[in-house]
Amino acid sequence: MNASPRNPLRVLLVAAVIGAGGCRLVQRRGPVPAELADARRLSNEALSAADRQDLVRATALLDRAVKACPVDVDARRHYADVLWQRGQRTEAVAQIAKAIELSPADAGLRIDAARMYLELGLLSEAERLAAHAVRLAPRSAAAWRVKGQLAMARGQFEPALADFHRGLALEPGDSGLLEEMAETYLRLERPRRALATLAILEETHGPDQAPARAIYLEGLAHEALGRPADARACYAAALAREDAPPEAATRLAALDAPAAVATRPDPAASR
pLDDT of residue 3: 40
Question: SS3 for 2?
Answer: coil
- 98-111 pLDDT, tens per residue? 999 999 999 999 99
Give the CATH H-level superfamily of domain 1-137: Tetratricopeptide repeat domain (1.25.40.10)
| Mean pLDDT for the stretch of residues 194-223 | 90
d(CA 236, CA 233) in angstroms, rounded, equals 5
Using pLDDT thresholds of 50, 70 and 90, give the confidence band for residue 206: confident
Domain borders along the chain are 1-137, 139-271
What's the gap between Cα 96 and its chain centre? 15
Contact 181, 149 (CB under 8 A): no
Using pLDDT thresholds of 50, 70 and 90, give the confidence band for residue 259: low
DSSP tag of 32 = P
Q: Mention every residue, 6+ apart, whose C-beta is less than 8 A from residue 195.
A: 182, 218, 221, 222
Position with higher pLDDT, 11 vs 74:
74
- 49-84 pLDDT, tens per residue? 999 999 999 999 999 999 999 999 999 999 999 999
**Stretch among 22-26, 42-46, 188-192 having the lowest mean pLDDT:** 22-26
pLDDT of residue 270: 52
d(CA 234, CA 255) in angstroms, rounded, equals 12
CATH class of 139-271: mainly alpha
d(CA 41, CA 57) in angstroms, rounded, equals 14
pLDDT of residue 24: 41
Contact 141, 170 (CB under 8 A): yes
Angle between helices 212-224 and 228-239 (to 10 degrees): 170
* 3-class SS string, 95-122: HHHHHHHHCCCCHHHHHHHHHHHHHHCC
Nearest CA to 98 out of 67, 119, 122 is that of: 67
Contact 37, 3 (CB under 8 A): no
1-137 against 139-271: fold identical:
yes
pLDDT of residue 18: 35
d(CA 258, CA 189) in angstroms, rounded, equals 21
Cα Rg of the chain, angstroms: 21
Nearest CA to 117 out of 245, 266, 247, 17 is that of: 17
Contact 147, 130 (CB under 8 A): yes
Nearest CA to 92 out of 84, 100, 103, 101 is that of: 84
